[in-house]
Structure 1
C-alpha cells in the first residue's frame, strides 16, 4: 500500500509551526512589495515552466506541419539546410546491401565490381546500361523523388549528399551479377538544396524469397562515394503492395505475381523486424497506374 504524507496528518504542533511560517512569509512578502517596483513584480510573476500556475493552459505546436528554420552543418561535405518538408521524420534502419551492390564490397564473375568510381554512373535515368552495352531495361516506368534529411536537426534537408540506388529488373535479375554484360538499373546522384534527387527507373520485379524492394546507399558527398564501406547509411525501400499487384498483372512480370503471393513485408527477412514507423518510412508513396507509369516519393532519414 502507498502511504501519502499529507500536511493535515501531522498533528497540532506541526500545524502551529506551519501557521507561524506562513505568517512570517506574508510579512516578508509585504516588505518586498513595498520595496519593489511594479515592473519588477510583474516580471517575477512570469516564472518558469516549473513554477507556472497549475491553472494555466499549456499549448503544443503541431510538429507534423512545422518546418525547420535553423541551419546546421553535418559531417562530411554534405550540409544540412534550413528547409524541410516536415519536422517529423524517422531514421531509416540500416539494412544489408545484399549480394549485388557493385559498390566495391564484393566480387562479380571473378572481379570486384564498383560503379561508384565511374563518372558515367552519375545519372538520373538508370533504365539503360552504361558499360558494355546500351540495353534498356523493360518494365513499368517509375519516377522516384527521394528527400534526404537529418532527423537530429528538425528534419533539415541534407544538400550535396550522394545517394546510390540499384534494384533488379522485371525478371528479378541484377545487372553485373545475374546479367554480367548489363549495367542498367544502377545510378548515383547528388542532392540539391532541398535534399532531393529524382531517378527514372522501372518497377522492380519480385523474385522468390524477398519482398519487392530497391537498395540504396547514402554518402556525405559524391567525392566520398568510392565504396559501400564509406556509406553513411545502407538501407532499402519497399514497393507498396497494391501497386505491386497492379504491375505484376501486366506482361513482362510473369513470375512476380506468384512470388508476391508467397511473401509480405512482415514475413520478409529484411523489413520484417522493423517497427511500423520504420516500415512506413521505407515504403514508397506512389501515384499513377501500371499503364501510364508511376511517380513515387520517400523521405530518407539519417541520424547525424
Structure 2
C-alpha cells in the first residue's frame, strides 16, 4: 500500500466523485479508477460502492477511512520530525497527560513556564488514559507523559514522581455524611462506590482497592469509569461515593462534596519518558519538571473545601 494510494482514497472519500477527486489530485479519472481498483485488490474487500448515479463508501470503506486518516497524519508528522532532525535541531515536543494533571493546575503552569523559557519549541498535547500514555511513550509516539501512579513501566521507560496531593472522598451533596468534616472508613461499609476502571489504570485502581480493603471496606461497586470527570459527574448524580484526588474539586461540578479521610493514601502523578531519549527538547522539559517538583507539591497542600 502506497502513500499516494491512501491520499487518493481519502480525496475520493471526501468528494465521493471520481472526476472532482481526480482534478484535486492532478491525475486523470481513469488513473484514479485504476488506483482504487488496485487498492481494493490489495486489501481484499470493496471500499467503494458505485453505480451510474453515485459513488459511496462501503461499510469497510468507512472503517478504512477512519483508520487510514489517522495513520496518514502520523506518517506526515513522523516525516516532518525526521526532516527537522536531519537539520540537527528537533524543536518539537509531544506531551501526553491524564486529565487530572490539568485540574491539579501544576501542568498548565509548567507548560506556560516552558513556553516562556523555550518559545522555539513547538508543543503537541494529547489527553489519554494511563495505559495508552505508557504504550505511546514506549513506542515513541509521545516524548513525555504525565501519568497517574503507581505504575510499573517497561524497562526502557523511566517514571519520576512530580506531584503529590491528598485523596478525599466525594459524596453527593444530599448524602447523610456530606456535612461531616472527616469520614471514618467504617462509615462507608454499605455505601455504593464509583471506581476508576482497572483496565485504564491498573496500578491506581489497585491502590484504591487495597486502601479500602485494609480499612475494612469491601466496596459494592455501582459503576466503573474510565475518566475522572465522569467519576465526579456520577457522584454528583447520586449514583454513589468515590475516592479522588483533591484537585477533582476544580471540575466545579455542583452537587458534589469533598470530605477528608486521613486513612486514604496520597495521590501522585509522575512524568514518564524514555531512558534513551537524549533530544534537547525532551531533556529541557524533564529538567524543568523535576526542578519544579517541590513547589508543585507545596501548592497541593491547600485546605479542602467542604463543597
TM-score between the two structures when normalised by the length of structure 2 = 0.22
Answer with 1 or 2: which has the greater Rg: 1
